[in-house]
Amino acid sequence: MSVFCTTQTALSTWAQNIAPSPTLAVDAKAKALKAAGKDVCGFGAGEPDFDTPAFIKEACAQALANGQTKYTATPGIPPLRAAIAAAYNALGFAVADSQVVVSSGGKMSCYLAILATVSPGDEVIIPAPYWVSYPEMVKLAGGQPHFISTQDDVGFKVTPEQLREAITPKTRLLILNSPSNPTGAVYSRAELQALVDVALSAGLYILSDEIYERLLYDGQESLHPAIFSTAAAGRVITVSGFAKTYSMTGWRLGTLVASREIASAVADLQSQTTSNVTTFAQYGALAVYQKPAEAEAALAGMLAHFDRRRLRLLEGLNAIPGLRCFRSQGAFYLFPNIASFGLSSAEFCARLLEEELVAAVPGSAFGAEGYLRLSYATADATIEKGLERLARFCQKLRA
Ligand code: GLU
């Protein structure tokens, strides 16, 4: 029993029940070890290891020099909202500027989408493995997460039957995340369409987290459930952002596109919490649309590196006796199965860091025991060294 009396705590029920983000915690630990001079191989954070493209930084610096340092409209500067709407319109996704909100990160867009649709007691269906923050965000809104578990043998994909069975009269929202963090799984158009159909026929809202929409390999295509039908357009909340595509994680710039009603509620929630995103950062993001050729070239350059690293890490992992790794086709993660070693994923990762200085995130953080997540948004040399260390560690476990 705890020696602390919980009734005496200064903390609210929300604060007592919230867990820190495990991905950020692993990253912080790896960075602290590095700062202390340790030769850590960091596979923890989902963060591109490239600098933000120069033309984006220049646009931001120019805005700062021009005095763009005051409040903007809460949902974003008009030219940026218009540019985001135009980009979706070009995909055949009829979006008015008023349906776009620029938020302080894809994470904030997800949280605001949940706050705008989930009331206390509502259930939210979250396919597992899931990104670490979804369940916590649902709980902060007073909702109840309902997980559908999937494994590597089915490509970490939920079937329409599983979804149908998980829906109850209390279900309000389904969270979709393709390409997936942490597995890198990508749903096909038909698979996604089938899930959207089931959700819409049950009257659910869908949060489609598309933050990895441009990080695709093996010829996969970018899909947007909101364009599947008019019904979908009214019920799907599309979340994306600049962090992963243009290596802008620290800029905190997310996007959200939804029906006018939801977008306006999200803007109101934002106006009472964060207000607008940092003004000059928004002008940096605008450059992505003003200089599309440069933006595409920057993305293509990063993608070539990610793809090469993906294939090398995948091959290296599958060559380690006892490990088995699903071939991811999106984002920048691999999610190997470590069940044969008989350790919990938390213990595996703690020992891997302690004994071999390799930082990875335990599968349990993503609702999937028996796996670990490795981000390959890191240098090739780190991948080679990390693979050697991981192989040595696994060999020791099997000895
Ligand atoms: N989304 C990234 C990750 O999963 C960044 C950290 C976070 O916000 O969780 O590593």
Rounded CA-CA distance 357/390 in Å is 10
Instruction: Select from 47, 209, 332, 349 the residue to mutate for testing ligand 1; criterion: most ligand atoms less than 8 Å from CB.
Output: 47
Distance of CA 69 to the CA centre of its chain: 29
Among the four given CATH numbers 3.40.640.10, 1.10.1060.10, 3.50.50.60, 3.40.120.10, the one describing domain 54-291 = 3.40.640.10
Q: Is the CB of 24 under 6 A from ligand 1?
A: yes
Using the mean position of ligand 1's atoms as its centre, give its distance from the Cα of residue 371 in Å: 17
Rounded CA-CA distance 369/387 in Å is 21
Q: Is the CB of 374 under 6 A from ligand 1?
A: no
Using the mean position of ligand 1's atoms as its centre, give its distance from the Cα of residue 23 in Å: 6
Q: Is the CB of 136 under 6 A from ligand 1?
A: no
Nearest residue (CA) to ligand 1, atom 3? 46
Nearest residue (CA) to ligand 1, atom 4? 46
If you count them, how many residues does the chain have?
A: 399
Instruction: Select from 27, 130, 131 the residue to mutate for testing ligand 1; criterion: most ligand atoms less than 8 Å from CB.
Output: 131
Q: Is the CB of 107 under 6 A from ligand 1?
A: yes
Q: Which residues pair with 175 in a beta bridge?
A: 207
Whether residue 330 contacts residue 398, with contact meaning beta carbons closer than 8 Å, is answered with: no
Using the mean position of ligand 1's atoms as its centre, give its distance from the Cα of residue 53 in Å: 21
Using the mean position of ligand 1's atoms as its centre, give its distance from the Cα of residue 1 in Å: 33
Tell whether pTM > 0.85: yes
Using the mean position of ligand 1's atoms as its centre, give its distance from the Cα of residue 176 in Å: 16
For the segment 94-145, what is each residue's pLDDT rounded down to a tens digit? 999 999 999 999 999 999 999 999 999 999 999 999 999 999 999 999 999 9
Q: Is 67 exposed, middle or buried (0-12, 13-18, 19+ CB in 10 A)?
A: exposed
Which atom of ligand 1 lies closest to the CA of 24? 6
Q: Point out the residues of the chain with pLDDT beneath 70.
A: 1-7
Whether residue 235 contacts residue 200, with contact meaning beta carbons closer than 8 Å, is answered with: yes
Q: Is the CB of 26 under 6 A from ligand 1?
A: no
Which is nearest to 16 in space by CA: 136, 151, 162, 152? 136
Sign of dihedral through CA atoms 364, 367, 370, 375? Answer: negative
Nearest residue (CA) to ligand 1, atom 5? 46
CA angle centred on 126, ends 123 and 128, rounded to 5°: 145
For the segment 138-189, what is each residue's pLDDT rounded down to a tens digit? 999 999 999 999 999 999 999 999 999 999 999 999 999 999 999 999 999 9
Kindly list the domain boundaries of the chain, sorted by start residue.
13-51+295-398, 54-291
Whole-number pLDDT of residue 18: 86
Using the mean position of ligand 1's atoms as its centre, give its distance from the Cα of residue 387 in Å: 22
Using the mean position of ligand 1's atoms as its centre, give its distance from the Cα of residue 375 in Å: 10
Whole-number pLDDT of residue 385: 98
Q: Is the CB of 21 under 6 A from ligand 1?
A: yes
Rounded CA-CA distance 399/396 in Å is 5
Rounded CA-CA distance 44/359 in Å is 6
Q: Is the CB of 46 under 6 A from ligand 1?
A: yes
CATH homologous superfamily, domain 13-51+295-398: Aspartate Aminotransferase, domain 1 (3.90.1150.10)
Nearest residue (CA) to ligand 1, atom 10? 46
Nearest residue (CA) to ligand 1, atom 1? 46
Whole-number pLDDT of residue 3: 47
In eight-state DSSP terms, residue 61 is H
Whole-number pLDDT of residue 396: 97
Q: Please state, as a whole number, how many other Cβ atoms lie within 10 Å of the Cβ of residue 381.
A: 9
